[in-house]
Amino acid sequence: SQELEQSPQSLIVQEGKNLTINCTSSKTLYGLYWYKQKYGEGLIFLMMLQKGGEEKSHEKITAKLDEKKQQSSLHITASQPSHAGIYLCGGGLTNFGNEKLTFGTGTRLTIIP
Partner 1 sequence: SQTIHQWPATLVQPVGSPLSLECTVEGTSNPNLYWYRQAAGRGLQLLFYSVGIGQISSEVPQNLSASRPQDRQFILSSKKLLLSDSGFYLCAWSSHRGRGNTEAFFGQGTRLTVV
List contacts with partner 1 (CB under 8 A).
2, 4, 6, 30-31, 33, 35, 39-43, 45, 48, 50, 86, 88, 90, 92, 96-106, 108
Q: Which is nearer to partner 1, 19 or 109 (CB)?
A: 109
Say how many C-beta atoms besides its own lie within 10 A of residue 112's C-beta: 11
Q: Which is nearer to partner 1, 16 or 58 (CB)?
A: 58
Q: Minimal distance in Å, beta carbon 45 to partner 1?
A: 5
Listing DSSP states for the chain in one string gives: --SEEEE-SEEEEETT--EEEEEEESS--SSEEEEEE-TTS-EEEEEEE-STT-EEEETTEEEEE-TTSSEEEEEESS--GGG-EEEEEEEEEETTEEEEEEE---EEEEEE-
Q: Which is nearer to partner 1, 13 or 43 (CB)?
A: 43
Q: Which is nearer to partner 1, 18 or 99 (CB)?
A: 99
Q: Minimal distance in Å, beta carbon 15 to partner 1?
A: 21
Q: Minimal distance in Å, beta carbon 113 to partner 1?
A: 22
